[in-house]
Amino acid sequence: MGAPEWRLIDDVETTDLAVDHMRTDVEMLERVAAGDHPALRLYTWPMPTLSLGRFQDAADVDEVACARLGVRITRRPTGGAALLHGADLTYSLAMRLEAGADNGVQPVYDRIAGALIVGLERLGVSAAIARHDRAPGAVCFASQQGADLRVGDRKVCGSAQVRRQGAVLQHGSILLRRLDIDECDLVTAACDRGTLRRATVTLEELGAPIDPRSVASAIVAGFSDWLGASFGPSTLVVQGSDAHR
Amino acid sequence: MELPEDLKYSKEHEWVAVDGARARVGITDYAQDALGDIVYVQLPTVGNTVEAMSTCAEVESTKSVSDIYAPISGTIVAVNDALSGAPELVNQEPYGSGWIFDIDLSDATQLDALLDAAAYRALVESG
């Protein structure tokens, strides 16, 4: 049997302010759970958006500050803590958890991390799977877990999962550059900006390309190389709102 | 992997302890190990009726959210409120203080479709 053919959804140049990335990701998971091709989606955010984890306390968010700073709020179907999007590239993938593989939470993170690491290597970035360093708080990038990627000791990509009906959706944020604001401006919990900055690193700071198109191409290549994902000429490539059809 | 002989098991890695027309449900030692450190349990609502194989609870571990299915149909009559403050009990004592909910069975014949310990062990060892 050949490598599975993947569906590639390209939302890298999203400009539609009404886009609902979380809904699209959940629909992608549901399609895969129902038997569709595994899927990889890459997207950016047309305006700064703070995403909260599935069970994160809404009181963690300073809604007044978000409104004042023009930051939209959304809730992820996945776990974890608050993450500010807007200067990142987000990947999401959905695939079935096939029998015979070790489908534990960390082993699946590890498999997908391999693809991301190979992709980042193409950009000259030497990343590794992160180590659990402290209890997770209200801000995703303030701590590391085995779901994440680091360069040295600094987190460059934060990821999370949801599993339904024998399939997994994993999505994650690759830091391209910094915005003028960060999560410390947007949460009610104690958040030290200096600590957060020292705990993270962006591709820009690493001297890597930060054009979302270039980074997306490298990540797609990483999945092709590492997971054997087929994105050949017959790959079902859809763009933007076509992903919903 | 701990696997009590007196329990029944679902293919989705729940255990079921039957006591007359009522059953206690949790997740297996294998499942808690695969999930890793559980940091949150979304418990079902007491009084809700659930169908077998429907989602009735969720757990979060290492930023991963997983569904917990009802292994049998019935009415939720109790939940383990201790998990709200100590979700790690599911990891520490999956067959004891880490239980998740009690259910009054609406169709006891569904129990026949569950696995015994030997069949469940074979399931997880086959991958």
- Per-residue pLDDT of A196-228, as tens digits, reads 999 999 999 999 999 999 999 999 999 999 988
Residue B1 banded pLDDT, cuts 50, 70, 90: confident
| Residue A232 pLDDT level (bands cut at 50, 70, 90) | low
Q: B residues 19-38 near A, CB within 8 Å?
A: 33-36
pLDDT at B29 over 90: yes
Q: Would you say residue B71 has pLDDT above 50?
A: yes
Asked if residue A1 belongs to a domain, the reply is: no
Averaged confidence pLDDT in chain B: 96
Which of A109, A181, A187, A108 is CA-nearest to residue A146? A109
Q: How far is B57 from chain A (nearest CA, A)?
A: 12
A192 located within any domain = yes
Within a domain: A115: yes
> HSE of A112 in the Cβ direction (CA atoms, 13 Å)?
29
Residue A43 forms part of a structural domain: yes
% of chain A exceeding 70 in pLDDT: 93
Q: Is residue A238 pLDDT above 50, yes or no?
A: yes
Residue A114 domain flag: yes
Could you say which of B34, B39, B65 has the minimum Cβ distance to residue A161?
B65
CATH of the domain at A167: 3.30.930.10
- Residue A131 counted as domain residue: yes
Q: CB of B39 within 8 Å of any CB in chain A? A: yes
Kindly state whether residue A54 falls inside one of the protein's structural domains: yes
Q: What gap in Å lies between CA A21 and CA A24, rounded to an integer?
A: 5
The residue among A109, A161, A169 with the most chain B CBs within 10 A of its CB, best to mutate, is: A161
Element (H, E) at A95: strand A88-96
- pLDDT score of A135: 77
Show Cβ contacts of residue A68 under 8 Å, excluding neighbours closer than 6 positions: none
- What does the pLDDT read at residue A240? 55
Residue range of the domain that includes A102: 7-244
How many structural domains compose chain A?
1
Cβ separation B63–A161 shorter than 8 A: yes
The tokens for A237 are: 């490539």
Start-to-end Cα distance in chain A: 29
CATH 1.10.1740.10 given to domain B8-118: no
Longest dimension (CA), chain A: 54
pLDDT at residue A27, rounded to an integer: 95
Collect all residues of chain B within an 8 Å Cβ-Cβ radius of residue A164. Answer: 55, 67
Mean pLDDT of all residues belonging to chain A? 91
Q: What is the ipTM of this complex?
A: 0.92
Name the nearest CA neighbour of A15 among A212, A188, A187.
A212
Query: Do residues A240 and A11 lie in contact, with contact meaning Cβ atoms separated by under 8 Å?
Result: yes
Residues B18-28, mean pLDDT to the nearest whole number: 97
* pLDDT over 60 (residue B101): yes
pLDDT of A235 reads 53
Specify if A2 maps to a domain.
no
